[in-house]
Structure 1
Amino acid sequence: MVFPTLCAAVAFALPFVGAVQERGSVSWSFQGCYTDTSASRTLSEASTASANMTVESCIAFCSDGGFSLAGVEFGSQCFCDYVMQSTGVLTSSANCNDACGGNSTEMCGAGNLIDIYWNGTPPPTTPQQVGPWSYAGCFPDSVSARQLPNQQIIPGGVTVESCTSACQAGGFVFAGLEFGQECWCGNSLSASSVLRTSCATACVTNTTEFCGGPSLLTVYENPTAQVCSESTLTSAFTLTAVTTMDAVLIPLYVQTIETESPISWSILTANVSGPFTSEILSNGVLSTSEPQLQTTSLAVAVGESPLFITTESSSTAAGPYCSMLDPGIQGVTGQVLAVNTHSNLWALCHNITACNRLDVVYSPIANHPHYNLASCEPVYLSLTS
C-alpha cells in the first residue's frame, strides 16, 4: 500500500500531464507515473475504457464512483481506487508518454504505466483496536483452505466494527475481513501474516477502513475470548442451567418439537415434562445416549435454540460444542458447555409461541418472533456426571 503524497513540484514542471484538474469544487493533483500490470493493478477498485479517454473524463468517472484516486493508462484506460496498491512503483513521469485518445495535448500513461491523480481525501486505515478486539495482521486465505471457516452474513454491510461484533456474538476468537465485503470467524490461524500493506481493499460499506484484499484477510483477535478444555468427554452427563444472578439450578432436557417420520427435531428446554436424557460430547458433537435412536446436534445459530435431529440412521452432525473449566460461578459444580469457545452467551427465554415454554437460547437477539429479549435470563450450562 502506497499512501498518496502531493507531488506539486513534479506536477507543475509537466503542465501537459495535467498538474491540477478541477471536478466541481474538488481539485485533483497529479501524483506521478507508476508501474502497473493486468495481473496486479495499482488502482484496482474500478475501471473503464474509451477511445476518447481524457484525464478529465477519467477523473469524472472515478469521482462519480466515490473514489479518491484516478489513473489513466495506455491512452484509453481509466482505473480508480481509494489507495495505491503496494505493487505499483513510482517511475519517471517521462515514461508515461502516451497521448490521451480524446485529447492529444494530455498524457494518459503508457503500456503498463499509469498516470495517477488524487483528490486529497485521506486513504483508508486499519483500526488497531475495536472494543476488545486487537489488529492481528494481514493473512493469506483461499477458497480451498479457509483460515477462518465461518462466514457471517451481515445485513447492514461488512465493516471492521460489524464483523468483530458478529464474531464476538458467535463466540469466536478471530475475525477476518476479505475482498472489501466479506466477514469470516474462527478460533485458530494456520498461516503466518504477510505484509500489512497487502490488505489494501477498502470496505464497501465504509471506505475509510480496510477490509482485507483478494484472498487476503485483515484479522482481529479477541484476547478476552475463552479457551475450550475438551471437545470430547469420556462419560455421559446431564445439563443443568445455572442462573448467573442468583445461582438457581434448573434441569434441562432434550425436547422433541417436531416429527416428520422418520426424522424428528428437538431443542434444549427446561420443560419439566420432557424425558430425562444424558448427553455425550464427542469431537465437538453433542448427542444423547438413547440406544435405539441417534440424536445429534446441528449447527448452532445466534439467537436460536440449540437444535438436534433424531434419525434411525446416522446423520451429519455439527457443533462446534466443547467443555470449559468451571468459570467460578456460584452453583456451577463442574465444567460448563460452550459453543465456539464461548460459555457465557447462553440464556433461558420464555417461548411466547409455545405456552411460555422455557427454552435455552444461544446469544438471544432483539425482535425475535418466539421470545422477548428483555425477559431472557443469562445462564451457564453446567455439565454434571
Structure 2
Amino acid sequence: MAFSTLCAVVAFALPLVCAATVQERASTPWAFQGCYTDTSASRTLAEASTTSSNMTVETCFAFCTAGGFSFAGVEFGSECYCDYAIQFTGVLSSAADCNEACSGNSTETCGAGNFIDIYWNGTPPPITPLQLGNWSYGGCFPDSVSARQLSNQIIIPEGVTVESCTSACEANGFDLAGLEFGQECWCGDTLLSSSVVRDACATACVANTSEFCGGSNLMTIYENPFAQDCYLNTLTFAFNLSAVSPTDGTITPLHVAIIETVPMISWSILTTVPGEFEFSFETIVNGGMLPMSTSEPQFQTSSLAVAVGESPVFVTTEFPPTAAGPYCSMLNPNIQGIAGQVLAVNSRKDLWALCPNTTAGNRLDVVYSPIANHPHYNSASCESVYLGFTESS
C-alpha cells in the first residue's frame, strides 16, 4: 500500500492513523513522526547514513533496524539516516515540505532537499541520568579541541558510559566528569565557561546506547555534589540574581538596594525589595561583585568582604575600594528553577538564606550562613536558598 502525500499530512496531525499503514506495507512497528528540517552541517539524525538510487522507506527501515537504531529518516529521494534520538537542531516542519518521491518507489515520499521524513520504531530513546551515586547532572556545555571544558581525558578500555566515566573521575580525585562524542571521558575540577546548551547533548554512548554521552563539540557534565569548587570568578556578562528554593523551585528576584546614605557614600545590600535607587545589573571580576546602574552609570559600586551571618554589602562612592568577595560561580546542584550555574562566596554555594529582617518590617534580606542571636533576624525563620544567575537583557 502506497504511503501518499495525503497520508503524510494526516500522519503529521494524527501519527497513529498512518502507523498501521506503515506496518501493513513493511511489517515493522515504525511510526511516522513528522517532517523535520535537516542540513549537511548539522544532521537531525546523525549516527549512520546510506544512499541508494533505489531508496524506499522500507529500505531505510531495514538499514536502521540492522544497526539497532530507534529513528529512521528518508531525505532528498535517495538518502537514509539513523539515530537513537532526534537531534536538537532539527525543527518540526509542515509535512508538505517533505514532498520528494523516493528514488526506488515513486508512490512514496522520501523527504526533500534539507527536509527529512522521520519514523520511530517505539524503542525508548536514551536518557541523561540526573543522579548517579555521589554525582549529579550539571548540564550540557560547548567544548572544542582548542578550548576544553575539562583538561584531563581518561581512557576507559571497557567502554565509556556515564557510570564508568564518573567512577573513573572520582577514582582519580576529580570533582567534575564530562562525556563527549559518545565515547570520550574527561575529568577536572574547573569548568572553562558557564555557557549551558540546553537539550543539545544527544549522542548515545557507544558502550551503552540507553544513555547520552555528550555530542559533537558538546560535553555532558556531572558534578560530585560534595565538591565545593569555584569554576569561574569572572563573569563579565551583565546578570541579575534570583533566590531559588531547593525544596519547591520558588524563584524570588533579588535587588542590590541602597539602605543607608551619607554625603558622598552609600551602602547597599542584597535583598528582595527594591530600594529608591536600584542597580540594574551585576558583574563579577576577579572575585569581586560590581553592581551597575544603566540610568546612573557615574556611580561606582564595589562589594565588600562577606561575613558569616551577614548580608552581602556594597559600597558606592567616588573612589570605591577594590571589590572583594570572593564571589564565583559553581555548578547548579540540580535545583529546579535554575538554568546554568549558581553564585558562591568564600567557596560555598549552599549557605545562602533569605531571612526576615525584624528591624526593617520583615523585609527578606539575603544572608550568608545565618547565625543564632542576630540583632536583625531570627535564624529559625530563615529559608535556605541557592542564588541563580539570569543574564540581563
The alpha-carbon deviation at position 10 of structure 1 amounts to: 3.9
Kindly provide the CA deviation profile for residues 256-294 of structure 1, in whole angstroms up to 9, marking residues without a partner as x: xxxxxxxxxxxxxxxxxxxxxxxxxxxxxxxxxxxxxxx
1-side partners of 2:94 and 2:21: how far apart?
A: 15
Q: Aligned in 2, Cα 1:203/1:63: closer, same or farther, shift over 3 Å?
A: same
TM-score, structure 1 normalization: 0.54
2-side partners of 1:101 and 1:84: how far apart?
A: 24
Residue in structure 2 matched with residue 116 of structure 1 by the alignment: 118
Among candidates 88, 93, 96, match of residue 95 of structure 2: 93
Residue in structure 2 matched with residue 29 of structure 1 by the alignment: 31
Residue in structure 1 matched with residue 187 of structure 2 by the alignment: 185
Residue in structure 1 matched with residue 214 of structure 2 by the alignment: 212
The reply to whether residue 155 of structure 1 matches residue 157 of structure 2 is: yes
Among candidates 116, 133, 152, match of residue 135 of structure 2: 133
State which structure, 1 or 2, has the greater radius of gyration over its C-alpha atoms: 1
The alpha-carbon deviation at position 227 of structure 1 amounts to: 6.6
Aligned residues of 1:33 and 1:113 also touching (Cα < 8 A): yes
1-side partners of 2:54 and 2:15: how far apart?
A: 23
Aligned residues of 2:12 and 2:95 also touching (Cα < 8 A): no
Is the partner of 1:111 in helix, strand or coil? coil
The alpha-carbon deviation at position 67 of structure 1 amounts to: 0.3
1-side partners of 2:84 and 2:11: how far apart?
A: 17
Among candidates 165, 168, 171, match of residue 170 of structure 2: 168
Residue in structure 2 matched with residue 47 of structure 1 by the alignment: 49
**Partner AA of 1:151 in structure 2:** Q
Residue in structure 2 matched with residue 74 of structure 1 by the alignment: 76
Residue in structure 2 matched with residue 299 of structure 1 by the alignment: none
The alpha-carbon deviation at position 195 of structure 1 amounts to: 2.6
Kindly provide the CA deviation profile for residues 200-249 of structure 1, in whole angstroms up to 9, marking residues without a partner as x: 11111111111000011100001224879xxxxxxxxxxxxxxxxxxxxx
Aligned residues of 2:143 and 2:149 also touching (Cα < 8 A): yes
Is the partner of 1:208 in helix, strand or coil? strand
**Partner AA of 2:192 in structure 1:** S
Kindly provide the CA deviation profile for residues 143-179 of structure 1, in whole angstroms up to 9, marking residues without a partner as x: 1121111111111100000000000000001000000
The alpha-carbon deviation at position 194 of structure 1 amounts to: 2.0
1:1-385 matches, cutoff 5 A = 9-11=13-15, 19-20=22-23, 26-225=28-227
Is the partner of 1:136 in helix, strand or coil? strand
2-side partners of 1:21 and 1:80: how far apart?
A: 22
**Partner AA of 1:224 in structure 2:** F
Overall identity of the aligned pairs, in %: 70
Residue in structure 2 matched with residue 309 of structure 1 by the alignment: none
2-side partners of 1:50 and 1:165: how far apart?
A: 43
Kindly provide the CA deviation profile for residues 41-67 of structure 1, in whole angstroms up to 9, marking residues without a partner as x: 110111110111000010100110010
Aligned residues of 2:150 and 2:192 also touching (Cα < 8 A): no
Residue in structure 2 matched with residue 320 of structure 1 by the alignment: none
Is the partner of 2:168 in helix, strand or coil? helix
1-side partners of 2:22 and 2:223: how far apart?
A: 44
2-side partners of 1:107 and 1:18: how far apart?
A: 14
Q: Aligned in 2, Cα 1:8/1:78: closer, same or farther, shift over 3 Å?
A: same
Q: What 5-or-longer segments of structure 1 have no aligned partner? A: 1-5, 229-385
Q: What 5-or-longer segments of structure 2 have no aligned partner? A: 1-9, 231-393
Aligned residues of 2:137 and 2:223 also touching (Cα < 8 A): yes
Aligned residues of 1:22 and 1:28 also touching (Cα < 8 A): no
Is the partner of 2:209 in helix, strand or coil? coil
Aligned residues of 2:18 and 2:31 also touching (Cα < 8 A): no
Q: Aligned in 2, Cα 1:20/1:114: closer, same or farther, shift over 3 Å?
A: farther
* RMSD over equivalenced CA pairs, Å: 2.4
Q: Aligned in 2, Cα 1:186/1:79: closer, same or farther, shift over 3 Å?
A: same
Residue in structure 1 matched with residue 325 of structure 2 by the alignment: none
Aligned residues of 2:177 and 2:223 also touching (Cα < 8 A): yes
Aligned residues of 2:16 and 2:31 also touching (Cα < 8 A): no
